[in-house]
Structure 1
Amino acid sequence: MTERPGAPAWASSDPERPADPVVPGAMNLRDVGGLRAGSAATRYRVLFRSGNLARLDEQGTRALADLRLRRIIDLRADDEVQREPSRIAGLDVVTQRVPLFLGSVESFFRDDLSLDEMYRQLVDDSAEGVVAVVRGILADQPVLVHCTVGKDRTGVTIALTLAAAGVDADAVIGDYARTEGLLPPRRNRRIVEVLRSMHPDAVHLEDLATRSPAPVMRALLDDVARRYGSADGYLRAHGLADDEIAELRRVLVQRES
Protein backbone atom coordinates (compact mmCIF):
# COMPACT_ATOMS: atom_id res chain seq x y z
CA MET A 1 0.00 0.00 0.00
CA THR A 2 1.32 3.43 -0.92
CA GLU A 3 0.51 6.08 1.64
CA ARG A 4 -0.88 9.38 0.43
CA PRO A 5 1.23 12.39 1.42
CA GLY A 6 0.02 13.74 4.74
CA ALA A 7 -2.40 10.87 5.31
CA PRO A 8 -2.47 8.95 8.60
CA ALA A 9 -0.44 5.75 8.44
CA TRP A 10 -3.55 3.60 8.79
CA ALA A 11 -5.43 5.13 5.86
CA SER A 12 -6.21 2.98 2.83
CA SER A 13 -5.25 4.06 -0.68
CA ASP A 14 -9.00 4.12 -1.38
CA PRO A 15 -10.36 7.24 0.35
CA GLU A 16 -13.83 5.69 0.47
CA ARG A 17 -12.69 2.52 2.24
CA PRO A 18 -9.97 3.31 4.78
CA ALA A 19 -8.57 0.45 6.82
CA ASP A 20 -9.35 0.21 10.50
CA PRO A 21 -6.63 1.97 12.48
CA VAL A 22 -3.89 -0.16 14.02
CA VAL A 23 -2.89 1.29 17.40
CA PRO A 24 -0.55 -1.07 19.30
CA GLY A 25 -1.77 -1.53 22.86
CA ALA A 26 -5.33 -0.37 22.16
CA MET A 27 -7.87 -3.18 22.21
CA ASN A 28 -10.97 -3.23 20.05
CA LEU A 29 -10.27 0.12 18.37
CA ARG A 30 -12.13 0.84 15.17
CA ASP A 31 -13.72 3.47 12.98
CA VAL A 32 -17.53 3.33 12.79
CA GLY A 33 -17.53 4.77 9.29
CA GLY A 34 -19.19 2.97 6.40
CA LEU A 35 -22.31 1.80 8.26
CA ARG A 36 -25.44 1.86 6.13
CA ALA A 37 -27.98 4.59 6.92
CA GLY A 38 -30.79 4.17 4.40
CA SER A 39 -29.34 5.26 1.06
CA ALA A 40 -26.36 6.89 2.81
CA ALA A 41 -23.61 5.73 5.18
CA THR A 42 -21.67 6.95 8.21
CA ARG A 43 -18.61 9.08 7.55
CA TYR A 44 -15.12 7.71 8.04
CA ARG A 45 -12.55 9.32 10.35
CA VAL A 46 -15.20 11.05 12.47
CA LEU A 47 -16.14 8.64 15.29
CA PHE A 48 -13.92 5.92 16.72
CA ARG A 49 -14.53 3.45 19.54
CA SER A 50 -12.21 1.29 21.63
CA GLY A 51 -11.25 -0.27 24.92
CA ASN A 52 -8.95 1.52 27.34
CA LEU A 53 -5.73 3.29 26.38
CA ALA A 54 -3.72 2.14 29.39
CA ARG A 55 -1.41 -0.22 27.49
CA LEU A 56 -0.21 2.04 24.71
CA ASP A 57 3.54 2.03 24.21
CA GLU A 58 5.42 4.79 22.40
CA GLN A 59 4.47 3.32 19.03
CA GLY A 60 0.84 3.08 20.08
CA THR A 61 0.77 6.68 21.23
CA ARG A 62 2.21 7.80 17.88
CA ALA A 63 -0.38 5.72 16.03
CA LEU A 64 -3.15 7.24 18.12
CA ALA A 65 -1.79 10.70 17.32
CA ASP A 66 -2.06 9.80 13.62
CA LEU A 67 -5.85 9.64 14.02
CA ARG A 68 -5.73 13.40 14.66
CA LEU A 69 -8.32 13.10 17.41
CA ARG A 70 -9.66 16.31 18.87
CA ARG A 71 -11.54 14.68 21.76
CA ILE A 72 -11.37 11.45 23.78
CA ILE A 73 -14.44 10.52 25.85
CA ASP A 74 -13.65 8.10 28.70
CA LEU A 75 -16.67 6.25 30.10
CA ARG A 76 -14.83 4.55 32.96
CA ALA A 77 -15.37 5.09 36.68
CA ASP A 78 -12.82 6.89 38.83
CA ASP A 79 -11.35 3.70 40.28
CA GLU A 80 -10.81 2.26 36.80
CA VAL A 81 -9.05 5.40 35.62
CA GLN A 82 -6.83 5.46 38.70
CA ARG A 83 -5.95 1.80 38.28
CA GLU A 84 -5.27 2.02 34.54
CA PRO A 85 -4.65 5.63 33.45
CA SER A 86 -4.65 6.38 29.74
CA ARG A 87 -1.22 6.76 28.15
CA ILE A 88 -1.96 9.81 26.05
CA ALA A 89 0.56 12.28 27.43
CA GLY A 90 1.68 14.71 24.74
CA LEU A 91 -1.46 14.42 22.62
CA ASP A 92 -3.21 17.70 21.87
CA VAL A 93 -6.69 16.44 22.66
CA VAL A 94 -9.62 17.32 24.90
CA THR A 95 -10.28 14.56 27.44
CA GLN A 96 -13.89 14.26 28.61
CA ARG A 97 -14.80 12.03 31.54
CA VAL A 98 -18.33 10.60 31.53
CA PRO A 99 -18.53 7.71 34.05
CA LEU A 100 -21.59 5.75 32.94
CA PHE A 101 -22.18 3.03 35.52
CA LEU A 102 -23.73 4.34 38.71
CA GLY A 103 -22.52 1.21 40.50
CA SER A 104 -19.11 -0.43 40.27
CA VAL A 105 -18.19 -2.77 37.43
CA GLU A 106 -17.54 -5.46 40.02
CA SER A 107 -21.14 -5.20 41.22
CA PHE A 108 -22.47 -6.49 37.90
CA PHE A 109 -20.46 -9.69 38.29
CA ARG A 110 -21.37 -9.97 41.96
CA ASP A 111 -25.07 -9.52 41.22
CA ASP A 112 -24.75 -11.88 38.22
CA LEU A 113 -26.74 -9.64 35.91
CA SER A 114 -27.42 -10.70 32.37
CA LEU A 115 -26.29 -8.42 29.54
CA ASP A 116 -29.95 -7.56 28.91
CA GLU A 117 -30.39 -6.49 32.53
CA MET A 118 -27.15 -4.51 32.62
CA TYR A 119 -27.95 -2.67 29.39
CA ARG A 120 -31.48 -1.84 30.52
CA GLN A 121 -30.00 -0.47 33.76
CA LEU A 122 -27.49 1.62 31.82
CA VAL A 123 -30.19 3.08 29.58
CA ASP A 124 -32.42 3.86 32.57
CA ASP A 125 -29.83 5.12 35.06
CA SER A 126 -27.19 6.78 32.89
CA ALA A 127 -29.26 8.69 30.34
CA GLU A 128 -27.71 12.01 31.41
CA GLY A 129 -24.29 10.55 30.71
CA VAL A 130 -25.32 9.19 27.32
CA VAL A 131 -26.57 12.65 26.33
CA ALA A 132 -23.26 14.15 27.54
CA VAL A 133 -21.37 11.73 25.28
CA VAL A 134 -23.50 12.70 22.28
CA ARG A 135 -22.82 16.37 22.99
CA GLY A 136 -19.11 15.57 23.22
CA ILE A 137 -19.27 13.92 19.81
CA LEU A 138 -20.95 17.06 18.44
CA ALA A 139 -18.37 19.34 20.04
CA ASP A 140 -15.25 17.94 18.35
CA GLN A 141 -14.35 15.49 15.62
CA PRO A 142 -12.59 13.20 15.14
CA VAL A 143 -13.61 11.77 18.51
CA LEU A 144 -12.84 8.50 20.28
CA VAL A 145 -15.28 6.99 22.79
CA HIS A 146 -13.94 4.25 25.05
CA CYS A 147 -14.41 2.37 28.31
CA THR A 148 -12.35 -0.55 29.63
CA VAL A 149 -13.08 -3.19 26.99
CA GLY A 150 -15.13 -1.16 24.51
CA LYS A 151 -17.97 -3.66 24.70
CA ASP A 152 -20.77 -2.63 27.05
CA ARG A 153 -20.71 1.05 28.02
CA THR A 154 -19.14 1.97 24.71
CA GLY A 155 -21.30 -0.54 22.85
CA VAL A 156 -24.60 0.76 24.22
CA THR A 157 -23.66 4.43 23.90
CA ILE A 158 -22.36 4.10 20.35
CA ALA A 159 -25.39 2.02 19.36
CA LEU A 160 -27.83 4.64 20.64
CA THR A 161 -25.83 7.40 18.98
CA LEU A 162 -25.72 5.64 15.63
CA ALA A 163 -29.39 4.69 15.77
CA ALA A 164 -30.35 8.28 16.60
CA ALA A 165 -28.30 9.44 13.61
CA GLY A 166 -30.39 7.22 11.32
CA VAL A 167 -28.07 4.24 10.91
CA ASP A 168 -29.93 1.05 9.96
CA ALA A 169 -30.67 -1.22 12.92
CA ASP A 170 -28.88 -4.18 11.33
CA ALA A 171 -25.74 -2.06 10.85
CA VAL A 172 -25.87 -0.80 14.45
CA ILE A 173 -26.26 -4.34 15.74
CA GLY A 174 -23.51 -5.64 13.48
CA ASP A 175 -21.08 -3.01 14.72
CA TYR A 176 -21.85 -3.94 18.33
CA ALA A 177 -21.49 -7.67 17.62
CA ARG A 178 -18.03 -7.18 16.04
CA THR A 179 -16.48 -6.66 19.47
CA GLU A 180 -16.66 -10.33 20.44
CA GLY A 181 -14.39 -11.27 17.55
CA LEU A 182 -11.90 -8.50 18.36
CA LEU A 183 -11.21 -9.47 21.97
CA PRO A 184 -7.99 -11.51 22.21
CA PRO A 185 -8.67 -15.15 23.24
CA ARG A 186 -5.75 -15.06 25.68
CA ARG A 187 -7.24 -12.02 27.38
CA ASN A 188 -10.63 -13.71 27.56
CA ARG A 189 -9.23 -16.86 29.16
CA ARG A 190 -7.28 -14.87 31.74
CA ILE A 191 -10.19 -12.59 32.64
CA VAL A 192 -12.68 -15.44 32.90
CA GLU A 193 -10.29 -17.45 35.07
CA VAL A 194 -9.82 -14.55 37.50
CA LEU A 195 -13.51 -13.71 37.64
CA ARG A 196 -14.52 -17.35 38.03
CA SER A 197 -12.26 -17.64 41.07
CA MET A 198 -14.15 -14.70 42.60
CA HIS A 199 -17.65 -15.68 41.47
CA PRO A 200 -17.67 -19.48 41.06
CA ASP A 201 -21.44 -19.81 40.70
CA ALA A 202 -22.13 -16.87 38.40
CA VAL A 203 -24.29 -17.81 35.42
CA HIS A 204 -23.69 -14.75 33.25
CA LEU A 205 -19.99 -14.23 33.91
CA GLU A 206 -18.63 -15.15 30.47
CA ASP A 207 -21.29 -13.10 28.68
CA LEU A 208 -20.46 -10.07 30.79
CA ALA A 209 -16.71 -10.46 30.31
CA THR A 210 -16.33 -11.58 26.71
CA ARG A 211 -19.47 -11.59 24.57
CA SER A 212 -21.48 -9.15 22.47
CA PRO A 213 -24.40 -11.18 21.06
CA ALA A 214 -26.41 -9.52 18.32
CA PRO A 215 -29.79 -10.56 19.83
CA VAL A 216 -28.96 -8.63 23.01
CA MET A 217 -28.47 -5.37 21.13
CA ARG A 218 -31.53 -5.99 18.98
CA ALA A 219 -33.60 -6.49 22.13
CA LEU A 220 -32.22 -3.28 23.63
CA LEU A 221 -33.01 -1.21 20.55
CA ASP A 222 -36.49 -2.75 20.39
CA ASP A 223 -37.06 -1.91 24.05
CA VAL A 224 -35.91 1.69 23.55
CA ALA A 225 -38.21 1.98 20.53
CA ARG A 226 -41.12 0.54 22.50
CA ARG A 227 -40.68 2.96 25.37
CA TYR A 228 -39.46 6.10 23.59
CA GLY A 229 -40.46 5.61 19.96
CA SER A 230 -36.83 5.54 18.77
CA ALA A 231 -33.25 6.11 19.91
CA ASP A 232 -33.53 9.81 19.07
CA GLY A 233 -36.77 9.85 21.07
CA TYR A 234 -34.80 8.49 24.04
CA LEU A 235 -32.19 11.23 23.68
CA ARG A 236 -34.87 13.91 23.31
CA ALA A 237 -36.65 12.62 26.42
CA HIS A 238 -33.45 13.19 28.37
CA GLY A 239 -32.65 16.67 27.16
CA LEU A 240 -31.14 16.55 23.67
CA ALA A 241 -32.71 19.20 21.44
CA ASP A 242 -34.05 18.73 17.93
CA ASP A 243 -31.28 20.85 16.44
CA GLU A 244 -28.69 18.67 18.22
CA ILE A 245 -30.26 15.54 16.70
CA ALA A 246 -30.14 17.19 13.27
CA GLU A 247 -26.49 18.12 13.81
CA LEU A 248 -25.67 14.57 14.91
CA ARG A 249 -27.07 13.27 11.64
CA ARG A 250 -25.14 15.87 9.66
CA VAL A 251 -21.87 15.11 11.46
CA LEU A 252 -22.05 11.32 11.31
CA VAL A 253 -23.85 10.54 8.06
CA GLN A 254 -22.59 11.29 4.56
CA ARG A 255 -25.63 11.84 2.37
CA GLU A 256 -25.50 10.81 -1.28
CA SER A 257 -25.06 13.74 -3.63
Structure 2
Amino acid sequence: MFVNLRDPAERLRAGQLYRSAQPGALAPEEVAAIVAGLGVRDIVDLRTEAEAGRVPWTGLPDTVRVHRLPLGGDVIDPEPLRRITTGEDLGRWYAALAVVAAERLVEVVRLVAHDGPTLVHCAAGKDRTGVAVAAVLELLGCDAEDIAADYGRTDAAMREVVAMVATVGDAFAFDTRGLPPILGRAPVEAMATCLAVLEAGHGGFTGLLTANGLTEDDVAALRRRFASE
Protein backbone atom coordinates (compact mmCIF):
# COMPACT_ATOMS: atom_id res chain seq x y z
CA MET A 1 0.00 0.00 0.00
CA PHE A 2 1.15 3.59 -0.63
CA VAL A 3 2.30 5.38 2.49
CA ASN A 4 -0.22 7.80 4.04
CA LEU A 5 -3.02 6.72 1.67
CA ARG A 6 -6.56 7.68 2.58
CA ASP A 7 -9.83 9.16 1.37
CA PRO A 8 -10.10 12.67 2.88
CA ALA A 9 -13.69 13.13 1.72
CA GLU A 10 -15.14 9.89 3.01
CA ARG A 11 -17.84 11.73 4.94
CA LEU A 12 -19.08 13.17 1.64
CA ARG A 13 -18.96 10.61 -1.16
CA ALA A 14 -16.21 8.07 -0.68
CA GLY A 15 -14.00 6.81 -3.49
CA GLN A 16 -13.74 10.04 -5.49
CA LEU A 17 -10.55 11.51 -3.99
CA TYR A 18 -7.50 9.89 -2.44
CA ARG A 19 -4.37 11.44 -1.00
CA SER A 20 -1.02 9.75 -0.41
CA ALA A 21 2.74 9.96 -0.49
CA GLN A 22 4.63 8.97 -3.66
CA PRO A 23 4.66 5.28 -4.67
CA GLY A 24 8.01 4.71 -2.97
CA ALA A 25 9.84 1.48 -3.72
CA LEU A 26 6.77 -0.55 -4.62
CA ALA A 27 7.10 -2.97 -7.51
CA PRO A 28 5.20 -2.02 -10.71
CA GLU A 29 2.72 -4.87 -10.24
CA GLU A 30 1.97 -3.67 -6.71
CA VAL A 31 1.37 -0.14 -7.97
CA ALA A 32 -0.98 -1.38 -10.68
CA ALA A 33 -2.93 -3.54 -8.25
CA ILE A 34 -3.40 -0.73 -5.71
CA VAL A 35 -4.49 1.82 -8.31
CA ALA A 36 -6.87 -0.65 -9.95
CA GLY A 37 -8.30 -1.67 -6.58
CA LEU A 38 -9.13 1.94 -5.75
CA GLY A 39 -10.68 2.57 -9.16
CA VAL A 40 -8.38 5.57 -9.72
CA ARG A 41 -8.50 7.02 -13.22
CA ASP A 42 -6.38 10.14 -12.71
CA ILE A 43 -3.26 10.81 -10.66
CA VAL A 44 -2.30 14.41 -9.86
CA ASP A 45 1.45 14.47 -9.20
CA LEU A 46 2.44 17.66 -7.38
CA ARG A 47 6.18 16.89 -7.30
CA THR A 48 8.91 18.68 -9.21
CA GLU A 49 10.35 17.08 -12.32
CA ALA A 50 13.50 16.11 -10.40
CA GLU A 51 11.48 14.42 -7.66
CA ALA A 52 9.30 12.55 -10.13
CA GLY A 53 12.40 11.36 -11.96
CA ARG A 54 13.79 9.85 -8.77
CA VAL A 55 10.60 8.00 -7.87
CA PRO A 56 8.62 7.57 -11.11
CA TRP A 57 5.21 6.05 -11.67
CA THR A 58 5.62 2.66 -13.34
CA GLY A 59 3.29 -0.20 -14.14
CA LEU A 60 0.13 1.86 -14.45
CA PRO A 61 -2.62 0.57 -16.73
CA ASP A 62 -3.38 2.56 -19.87
CA THR A 63 -6.68 3.69 -18.38
CA VAL A 64 -4.87 5.77 -15.72
CA ARG A 65 -3.58 9.24 -16.60
CA VAL A 66 -0.82 11.00 -14.68
CA HIS A 67 -1.07 14.80 -14.60
CA ARG A 68 2.20 16.50 -13.70
CA LEU A 69 1.29 19.69 -11.86
CA PRO A 70 4.28 20.79 -9.74
CA LEU A 71 2.89 22.84 -6.89
CA GLY A 72 5.06 25.83 -6.12
CA GLY A 73 7.36 25.59 -9.11
CA ASP A 74 9.89 23.25 -10.63
CA VAL A 75 12.47 23.73 -7.87
CA ILE A 76 11.98 23.55 -4.12
CA ASP A 77 13.93 26.24 -2.29
CA PRO A 78 14.96 24.69 1.06
CA GLU A 79 15.97 27.99 2.67
CA PRO A 80 12.45 29.11 3.70
CA LEU A 81 11.93 25.63 5.13
CA ARG A 82 14.97 26.01 7.36
CA ARG A 83 13.30 29.00 9.06
CA ILE A 84 10.18 27.05 10.05
CA THR A 85 10.26 26.15 13.73
CA THR A 86 6.60 25.92 14.81
CA GLY A 87 3.31 24.59 13.49
CA GLU A 88 2.15 28.15 12.99
CA ASP A 89 5.26 28.91 10.89
CA LEU A 90 4.47 25.86 8.79
CA GLY A 91 0.90 27.03 8.29
CA ARG A 92 2.04 30.47 7.17
CA TRP A 93 4.35 28.78 4.66
CA TYR A 94 1.39 26.74 3.39
CA ALA A 95 -0.65 29.91 2.94
CA ALA A 96 2.18 31.58 1.04
CA LEU A 97 2.50 28.48 -1.16
CA ALA A 98 -1.22 28.57 -1.90
CA VAL A 99 -1.02 32.20 -3.01
CA VAL A 100 1.97 31.58 -5.28
CA ALA A 101 0.42 28.42 -6.71
CA ALA A 102 -3.21 29.58 -6.92
CA GLU A 103 -3.55 29.04 -10.66
CA ARG A 104 -2.11 25.56 -10.33
CA LEU A 105 -4.54 24.81 -7.51
CA VAL A 106 -7.37 25.79 -9.85
CA GLU A 107 -6.10 23.13 -12.27
CA VAL A 108 -6.06 20.56 -9.49
CA VAL A 109 -9.64 21.37 -8.47
CA ARG A 110 -10.83 21.08 -12.06
CA LEU A 111 -9.21 17.68 -12.47
CA VAL A 112 -10.83 16.40 -9.30
CA ALA A 113 -14.18 17.87 -10.34
CA HIS A 114 -14.30 16.62 -13.90
CA ASP A 115 -12.11 13.52 -14.15
CA GLY A 116 -12.09 11.50 -10.87
CA PRO A 117 -11.74 9.18 -9.08
CA THR A 118 -8.45 10.97 -8.48
CA LEU A 119 -5.31 10.39 -6.40
CA VAL A 120 -3.44 13.55 -5.36
CA HIS A 121 0.08 13.16 -4.05
CA CYS A 122 3.52 14.73 -3.61
CA ALA A 123 6.62 13.16 -2.05
CA ALA A 124 5.43 12.79 1.54
CA GLY A 125 1.72 13.41 1.00
CA LYS A 126 1.81 16.10 3.67
CA ASP A 127 2.68 19.66 2.58
CA ARG A 128 1.77 20.22 -1.07
CA THR A 129 -0.83 17.47 -0.93
CA GLY A 130 -2.19 18.97 2.29
CA VAL A 131 -2.64 22.37 0.66
CA ALA A 132 -4.30 20.95 -2.47
CA VAL A 133 -6.68 18.69 -0.55
CA ALA A 134 -7.56 21.49 1.87
CA ALA A 135 -8.60 23.64 -1.10
CA VAL A 136 -10.87 20.87 -2.41
CA LEU A 137 -12.41 20.20 0.98
CA GLU A 138 -13.15 23.88 1.62
CA LEU A 139 -14.86 24.16 -1.77
CA LEU A 140 -16.92 21.11 -0.84
CA GLY A 141 -18.19 22.96 2.22
CA CYS A 142 -16.11 21.27 4.93
CA ASP A 143 -15.43 23.49 7.92
CA ALA A 144 -11.96 24.55 9.00
CA GLU A 145 -11.87 22.19 11.98
CA ASP A 146 -12.57 19.14 9.81
CA ILE A 147 -10.05 20.22 7.16
CA ALA A 148 -7.34 20.70 9.79
CA ALA A 149 -8.23 17.37 11.39
CA ASP A 150 -7.86 15.54 8.07
CA TYR A 151 -4.44 17.11 7.58
CA GLY A 152 -3.51 16.13 11.14
CA ARG A 153 -4.19 12.46 10.41
CA THR A 154 -0.93 12.48 8.46
CA ASP A 155 1.02 12.97 11.69
CA ALA A 156 0.50 9.32 12.65
CA ALA A 157 2.02 8.23 9.33
CA MET A 158 5.12 10.42 9.43
CA ARG A 159 7.48 7.76 10.80
CA GLU A 160 6.50 5.53 7.89
CA VAL A 161 6.83 8.46 5.47
CA VAL A 162 10.34 9.27 6.69
CA ALA A 163 11.34 5.61 6.37
CA MET A 164 9.98 5.46 2.81
CA VAL A 165 11.87 8.59 1.80
CA ALA A 166 15.08 7.14 3.25
CA THR A 167 14.51 3.90 1.33
CA VAL A 168 14.18 5.58 -2.06
CA GLY A 169 17.10 7.98 -1.53
CA ASP A 170 17.17 11.69 -2.31
CA ALA A 171 13.43 11.89 -2.96
CA PHE A 172 13.13 15.64 -2.39
CA ALA A 173 15.99 16.58 -4.76
CA PHE A 174 17.73 18.77 -2.17
CA ASP A 175 19.78 18.21 0.96
CA THR A 176 17.33 17.60 3.78
CA ARG A 177 19.96 17.43 6.50
CA GLY A 178 19.50 20.03 9.20
CA LEU A 179 15.85 20.79 8.42
CA PRO A 180 13.79 21.67 11.51
CA PRO A 181 12.08 18.72 13.23
CA ILE A 182 8.64 20.29 12.74
CA LEU A 183 8.89 19.43 9.04
CA GLY A 184 8.68 15.79 10.04
CA ARG A 185 5.33 16.40 11.70
CA ALA A 186 1.82 17.30 10.58
CA PRO A 187 0.42 19.30 13.51
CA VAL A 188 -3.22 20.34 13.26
CA GLU A 189 -2.27 23.94 14.08
CA ALA A 190 -0.32 24.15 10.82
CA MET A 191 -3.40 23.71 8.65
CA ALA A 192 -5.54 25.74 11.06
CA THR A 193 -3.09 28.61 10.67
CA CYS A 194 -3.02 28.27 6.90
CA LEU A 195 -6.81 28.45 6.72
CA ALA A 196 -6.96 31.44 9.06
CA VAL A 197 -4.31 33.37 7.11
CA LEU A 198 -6.03 32.72 3.79
CA GLU A 199 -9.44 33.63 5.21
CA ALA A 200 -8.13 36.93 6.53
CA GLY A 201 -6.22 37.90 3.43
CA HIS A 202 -8.08 36.32 0.52
CA GLY A 203 -11.48 35.08 1.64
CA GLY A 204 -10.13 31.57 2.11
CA PHE A 205 -9.17 29.12 -0.59
CA THR A 206 -12.54 29.90 -2.16
CA GLY A 207 -11.81 33.60 -2.62
CA LEU A 208 -8.21 32.99 -3.64
CA LEU A 209 -9.04 30.45 -6.33
CA THR A 210 -12.04 32.40 -7.61
CA ALA A 211 -9.74 35.39 -8.10
CA ASN A 212 -7.45 33.13 -10.12
CA GLY A 213 -9.94 31.69 -12.56
CA LEU A 214 -12.07 29.14 -10.72
CA THR A 215 -15.68 29.48 -11.88
CA GLU A 216 -19.07 28.77 -10.37
CA ASP A 217 -19.41 25.96 -12.92
CA ASP A 218 -16.17 24.40 -11.64
CA VAL A 219 -17.40 24.48 -8.06
CA ALA A 220 -20.81 23.09 -9.07
CA ALA A 221 -19.12 20.22 -10.94
CA LEU A 222 -16.93 19.47 -7.92
CA ARG A 223 -19.93 19.34 -5.61
CA ARG A 224 -21.88 17.12 -8.00
CA ARG A 225 -19.02 14.63 -8.03
CA PHE A 226 -19.09 14.34 -4.26
CA ALA A 227 -22.86 14.45 -3.81
CA SER A 228 -24.31 11.28 -2.29
CA GLU A 229 -25.72 8.94 -4.89
Same fold (TM over 0.5): yes
Aligned pairs (5 A) from 1:144-155: 144-155=119-130
Q: How does 1:1-257 map to 2 (within 5 A)?
A: 23=1, 26-35=2-11, 42-57=12-27, 58-102=29-73, 104-105=75-76, 107-108=78-79, 111-113=82-84, 114-184=89-159, 187=162, 199-200=177-178, 202=179, 205-208=180-183, 210-254=184-228
Q: Which structure 2 residue ranges, 5 or more long, are not aligned?
A: none
Calculate the aligned-residue CA RMSD, in Å.
Answer: 2.6
Identity, % of aligned positions? 33
Deviation at residue 199 of structure 1 after TM alignment: 4.5
Partners of 2:164 and 2:8 lie apart in 1 by 27
Stretch moving more, 73-82 or 59-68? 59-68
User: Please, which moves more after superposition, 75-84 or 103-112?
Assistant: 103-112
Give the helix-richer structure, 1 or 2.
Answer: 2
Secondary structure at 1:224 match in 2:
helix
The TM-score normalised by the length of structure 1 is 0.76
Look at both structures and tell me which one has the larger radius of gyration over its CA atoms: 1
Residue 189 of structure 1: how far off its partner (Å): 10
The answer as to whether partners of 1:55 and 1:87 remain within 8 angstroms in 2 is: no
Q: 2:47 touches 2:122 (CA, 8 Å); kept in 1?
A: yes
Mean Cα deviation higher: 144-153 or 96-105: 96-105
Number of corresponding residues? 218
Pick 1 or 2: higher relative contact order, CA cutoff 8 A, min separation 6: 2
Q: Deviations over 1:70-125 (max 9, x none)?
A: 10000000100111112343352111110012263352466434413421221121
Q: What displacement does 1:190 show?
A: 8.0
Distance 1:253 1:177, change over 3 A: farther
Q: Using the alignment, how far apart are the partners of 2:39 and 2:139 within structure 1?
A: 25
CA distance in 2, matches of 1:70, 1:46: 10
